[in-house]
Copies of this chain bind each other. A is one copy, B any other.
Amino acid sequence: MRPDEGRARLAALGFAADDVETLFAHFDDAERRGKLGHGHARIEWLETQAPDPTARPEKTVSTPGFDAWESRGTLGYLVLARICADLVAREPDPVRVVAADAFPTGHLGYWVRRLADAGLVAALTATSPARLPHPAGGRPVVGTNPLAVGLPDPAGRPIVVDASMGAVTYGDVIRGAARPEELVPFGGPQAHKAFALALGLEGLVQSFVGDRYGIVLVAAKPQADGAAARLRERAAGLRLPGDS
């Protein structure tokens, strides 16, 4: 999809110019990174969802160490964009936890990379509809619940981790690249570990936002320098998560 077409279709949904840019930038980044389930195809998907383009998230709790946001029906991407902008504008001193109901939130690496580029270390998880069954079988219990971590680097080579707990993505299933029965916790004989992680992250988010889809984000000014560089040195040149 050409950028002008993507932007025009988002504008046709009623989104203001700045929201169009925010959304297109996210989808385009996903597309370029090969995360096609979060890429341009999401524009077509949004056209089937009739999102409210006038909704605005509201910060309902604001303390030095904790913020809570309510989406008020705002698309999750735009909620996270607002949260990240707020963290950059009002930097944690040294750390702030942020919780919000927010869905969908796209690929989480995008958001922690944005924070890393602003010098903040961040860990972010997000829940989604239940997709992953217990390793023993049965109906889906938890979302794919990725955990993303962004490690800033003064030299401009942040490390950006973004790992979902699913063996395949829901997007892969939707577009026929994976079979529904492949959407299980990753790990094969050790799938109980990925299931446990997804379950713990699901409960963590629910402990803040109740029975809704949402995010929990921990963002901090690094209290010690050099984490990303040190890990790169240990990895001795091997490709690390988030490297292009």
Contacts and interface: CB of A to CB of B under 8 A. Distances in A.
B224 A136 contact: no
Contacts of A136: 238-239
B66 A200 contact: no
Interface string A3-41: 000000000000000000000000000000000000000
Interface stretch (A44-52, A73-81, A93-101): A93-101
A208 B220 contact: yes
A97 B95 contact: yes
Max chain B Cβ within 10 angstroms of own Cβ: one of A121, A130, A187: A187
A208 B68 CA distance: 23
- Chain A contact residues (Cβ within 8 angstroms of B): what range? 35 or more
A161 B65 contact: no
A148 to B, nearest CB: 7
A216 B180 CA distance: 36
A207 B223 contact: yes
Contact of A206 (B63, B64, B227): B227
A126 interface: no
A215 interface: no
Contact of A207 (B151, B194, B195): B151
Interface in A158-186: 159, 161-164, 167, 186
A225 B208 CA distance: 9
A6 B73 CA distance: 57
A203 interface: yes
A222 interface: yes
15 contacts: A95-B97, A121-B203, A123-B204, A136-B239, A138-B238, A141-B235, A142-B231, A147-B147, A147-B200, A159-B203, A162-B196, A186-B190, A206-B231, A207-B222, A218-B218
Q: Which 9 pairs from chain A and chain B are nearest by CB?
A: A65-B65, A149-B200, A161-B200, A210-B224, A206-B227, A151-B203, A121-B207, A207-B222, A196-B241
Interface of A: 63-66, 68, 94-97, 99, 121, 123, 130, 134, 136, 138-139, 141-142, 147-149, 151, 159, 161-164, 167, 186-190, 192-197, 199-204, 206-211, 218, 220, 222-228, 230-231, 234-236, 238-241
